[in-house]
């Protein structure tokens, strides 16, 4: 596809985003309830099952659900409801935090079986019993989607196989900790997976700001696929063991700025490719003001990024250290094909490569 044809397709994508944001993700037809706007729940204590009590509180609330400090034992997933706040004590320490512990192997803590709109989840700790391979927040089916929402100051333990696995639209993830705490790391530990599998572009205008990501295992730490806009700003990615740290596919505009990368495994820190239902690649990717420690996690990281599809990476004002003698910004094949467009200076300690000046003729 030519870049001019791609631009026309991109315009249609952005229009579809506006239609989706205005209409499809609006909470509709819900009769007002007469219950209190703020409700508080305490753990039952011991190994007593808290699932039914919490779900009843969620169903009967119209405002904020407050989880007091302690461990809430779950045996089934909790169904998130729109237009509510879910608030805990904001501590990573299980002695002081509001801990949601799933005991049933393979189950999730929160599920979305339809569009869930305008929720705030803050200060909760998500975990499971060792070896149960439980999940954090996931879509229960193809209709599950999180829109116009905020997740802030939550803690996702290493016992989870998936921390967040749900398509997101107009959603902000801020100051959360992924994989920093826990008693065991599952063989798969993925932090974020936001993939919309439908024909309409559906994972748009999301922000990752000030989060910490560690201990990922499997394909990647963070995956976003098929959408129009994504901002990844001011996060710390350190000590991840996945094949790559960031995997972004089929997005129109991606801004990756002011992040810190260190001791991450994989051939490249990030990879860009086509989406599930399009061959659009990532039309514009901006890498600015990031810091890269290329020492790797056991093996040095060779590239900052790899890419395929109609992807253009604009890169500048970057810093880094611990570059191996053969390390480069991207592969020679991609560099020669103008996937990289240099837009500013670099400060790379130990860098011996030849790509920092850009490729002549690549604008």
* DSSP string of 315-347, one letter each residue: EESEEEE---TT-BSS-HHHHHTT-EEE-S-EE
The whole-number pLDDT of residue 356 equals 92
> Does residue 182 lie within any of the structural domains?
no
Give the residue with greater pLDDT, 280 vs 361.
361
Q: Is the pLDDT of residue 26 over 80?
A: no
Tokens of 84: 């509510």
Bridge-partner residues for 342, per DSSP?
315
* Cα–Cα distance measured from residue 77 to residue 16, given in angstroms and rounded to the nearest whole number: 32
DSSP state of 266: S
157 and 196 within one domain: no
CB 102 within 8 Å of CB 134: yes
Q: Is the predicted pLDDT of residue 196 greater than 50, yes or no?
A: yes
16 domain-assigned: no
Task: Report the 10 Å Cβ neighbour count for 190.
Answer: 25
User: Residue 236's closest CA among 176, 297, 163?
Assistant: 176
The answer to whether residues 123 and 67 belong to one domain is yes
Lowest mean pLDDT among 71-80, 133-142, 219-228, 279-288: 279-288
In a shared domain, residues 153 and 207: no
Cα 240 from Cα 253, distance rounded (Å) = 25
Pair (57, 191) in one structural domain? no
HSE of 38, CA atoms in CB hemisphere, 13 A: 5
d(CA 88, CA 64): 11
Closest alpha carbon to 25 in 149, 134, 176, 157: 149
Q: Which domain holds residue 333?
A: 187-358
* Same domain, residue pair 107 and 141: yes
Is residue 82 in a domain?
yes
Task: Tell me, yes or no, whether 329 lies in a domain.
Answer: yes
> Are both 133 and 221 inside the same structural domain?
no
Residue 292 included in any domain: yes
Residue 194 and residue 276 in contact, taking contact as beta carbons nearer than 8 Å: no
Q: Is the dihedral of CA 185, 186, 188, 192 positive or negative?
A: negative
Residue range 235-281, pLDDT digits in tens: 999 999 999 999 999 888 999 999 999 999 999 999 999 887 777 77
Tokens 């569009």 identify what position?
115
User: Same domain for 154 and 195?
Assistant: no
The number of distinct structural domains making up the chain is: 2
Residue with tokens 């932090």: 191
CB-based contact 330:307 (threshold 8 Å) = yes
Q: Please answer whether residues 80 and 52 qualify as being in contact, where contact means their C-beta atoms are separated by less than 8 angstroms.
A: no
Q: Report the pLDDT averaged over residues 296-309.
A: 93
Percent of the chain surpassing pLDDT 70: 88
Q: Is residue 342 domain-shared with residue 210, that is, in the same domain?
A: yes
> Does the pLDDT at position 198 exceed 50?
yes
Q: Give φ, ψ of 187 to 5 degrees.
A: -60, -25
Extract the tokens encoding 93: 């320490």
Q: Which of 128, 162, 196 is the last residue of a domain?
A: 162
Q: What percentage of the chain reaches a pLDDT higher than 90? A: 74
CB of 125 closer than 8 Å to CB of 99: yes
| Cα(155)–Cα(126) distance, integer angstroms | 6
Cα–Cα distance measured from residue 228 to residue 98, given in angstroms and rounded to the nearest whole number:
35
Q: Is residue 28 predicted with pLDDT exceeding 90?
A: no
**Residue 258 and residue 155 share a domain:** no
End-of-domain residue from the set 162, 197, 212: 162
For 304-323, what is each residue's pLDDT tens digit? 999 988 889 999 999 999 99
- 215 with 311, same domain: the answer is yes
Look at 33 and 128; give whichever has higher pLDDT: 128
User: Which of 302, 190, 292 has its CA nearest to residue 247?
Assistant: 190
**pLDDT number for residue 190:** 97
Inside any domain, residue 202: yes
Tokens describing residue 197: 């599998």
Strand partners, 231: 207, 255
pLDDT in tens, 62-98: 899 999 999 999 999 999 999 999 999 999 998 999 9
Structure confidence by residue, pLDDT tens digits, 151-177: 999 999 999 999 999 999 999 999 999
Domain assignment of residue 111, yes or no: yes
Residues 66 and 206 in one domain: no
Residue (of 113, 110, 112) closest to 101 by Cα position:
110
Q: Which residues pair with 328 in a beta bridge?
A: 303
Does 66 map to a domain?
yes
CB 116 within 8 A of CB 86: no
Model pLDDT, residue 37: 67
The answer to whether residues 122 and 196 belong to one domain is: no
């Amino acid at each position: 596809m030519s870049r001019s044809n791609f631009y026309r397709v991109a315009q249609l994508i952005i229009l579809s985003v506006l239609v989706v944001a205005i209409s499809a993700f609006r909470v509709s037809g819900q009769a007002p309830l007469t219950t209190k706007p703020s409700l508080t729940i305490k753990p039952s204590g011991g190994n007593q099952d808290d699932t039914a009590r919490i779900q009843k509180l969620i169903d009967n609330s119209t405002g904020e659900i407050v989880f007091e400090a302690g461990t809430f034992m779950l045996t089934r997933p909790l169904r998130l409801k729109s237009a509510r706040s879910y608030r805990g004590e904001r501590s990573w320490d299980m002695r002081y935090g509001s801990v949601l512990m799933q005991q049933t192997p393979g189950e999730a803590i929160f599920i979305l079986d339809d569009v869930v709109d305008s929720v705030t989840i803050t200060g909760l700790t998500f975990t499971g019993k060792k070896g149960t391979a439980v999940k954090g927040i996931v879509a229960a089916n193809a209709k599950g989607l999180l829109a116009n929402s905020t997740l802030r100051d939550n803690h996702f333990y290493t016992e989870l196989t998936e921390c967040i696995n749900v398509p997101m639209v107009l959603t902000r993830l801020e100051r959360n900790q992924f994989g920093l705490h826990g008693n065991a790391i599952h063989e798969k530990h993925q932090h974020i997976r936001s993939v919309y599998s439908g024909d309409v572009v559906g994972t748009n205008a999301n922000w990752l700001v000030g989060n910490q990501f560690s201990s990922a295992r499997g394909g990647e730490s963070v995956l976003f696929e098929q959408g129009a806009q994504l901002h990844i700003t001011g996060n710390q990615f350190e000590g991840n063991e996945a094949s790559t740290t960031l995997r972004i596919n089929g997005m129109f505009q991606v801004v990756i700025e002011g992040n810190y990368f260190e001791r991450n495994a994989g051939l490249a820190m990030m990879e860009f490719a086509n989406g599930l239902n399009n061959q659009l690649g990532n039309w514009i990717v901006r890498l600015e003001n990031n810091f890269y420690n290329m020492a790797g996690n056991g093996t040095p990281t060779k590239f900052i990024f790899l890419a395929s599809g109609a992807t253009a990476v604009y890169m500048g004002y970057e810093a880094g250290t611990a570059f191996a003698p053969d390390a480069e910004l991207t592969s020679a094949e991609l560099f020669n094909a103008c996937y990289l467009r240099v837009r500013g200076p670099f400060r790379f300690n130990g860098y011996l490569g030849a790509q920092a000046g850009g490729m002549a003729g690549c604008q």
